[in-house]
Amino acid sequence: MKEFFTEGSTVLFYGDSITDAGRDKENGQDLGKGYAAKIAALYSVLFPNQHIRFFNRGVSGNVSADLLKRYEKDLLALKPQYVFILIGINDTWHGWAEGNPIPAEVTRSHVKELIRRIRNDLEGTRVMVLQPWLLDSDPAKISWHEDFDRKGKLLADLGQEYADLWIDIPAAFQKDMERGDAVQEKICPDGVHPSDYGHGLMALEILKRIGCIDCE
């Protein structure tokens, strides 16, 4: 077990509804009820002598282009030393709903540009890309896989090549299911949005991957 964030640093969670998790957008300090809040709470317990500022700037419904549109206000203005990015599912979801899917290459280019801007504007800031997912819990979303799986592959390759750390969240979900601790409906009832249990799995996996906890 070791500290990951430097003393006094700012940590930002940036993404869509999965990150948003019901946060109060009128309160810039609110972390919502998902993995961001759980990570902040657990980290504070593990390292009580550190003073870390955690911020949640997830926005429900965002597609990858939206992260670029609000970059200056919601990311650059905070000058974070650590950024966790989770985006991608809405590039498929909204495309199917509106009959105009966002091409996988466009999703990839948006995330790559976001990382490029962070590198250019915030020297030394570490970028962690969380892999998005689409589980098969909801039969209505099975048909999305052809589109989403291609996006997921490109985002995984991008995260491994350009981010400081790529974290495979769906693999953590799958491992928990194979261990027999949960079924998909317990982790992610609609195949996209985690339950409280699913958010807990996310928080544990992220803390494990950044070296703060050692558990299987």
Q: What is the pLDDT of residues 3-61, one digit of tens each?
A: 999 999 999 999 999 999 999 999 999 999 999 999 999 999 999 999 999 999 999 99
Spell out the domain ranges in the chain. 10-209
Residues 183/136, Cβ–Cβ less than 8 Å: no
Angle at 130 between CA 125 and CA 132, to 5 degrees: 150
d(CA 160, CA 166): 5
pLDDT of residue 180: 74
Cα–Cα distances in Å, from 190 out to 55, 185, 187, 206, 215?
A: 26, 7, 9, 22, 28
Instruction: Choose among 184, 165, 162, 161: nearest CA to 173.
Output: 184
Residues of the chain with pLDDT under 70: 97, 137-140, 181-182, 216
Confidence (pTM): 0.95
**Sign (positive/negative) of CA torsion 203, 205, 210, 213?**
positive
* β-bridge mates for residue 166, sequence order: 129
How is domain 10-209 classified at the CATH fold level? Rossmann fold (3.40.50)
The whole-number pLDDT of residue 1 equals 77
- Residue for token pair 């409906």: 185
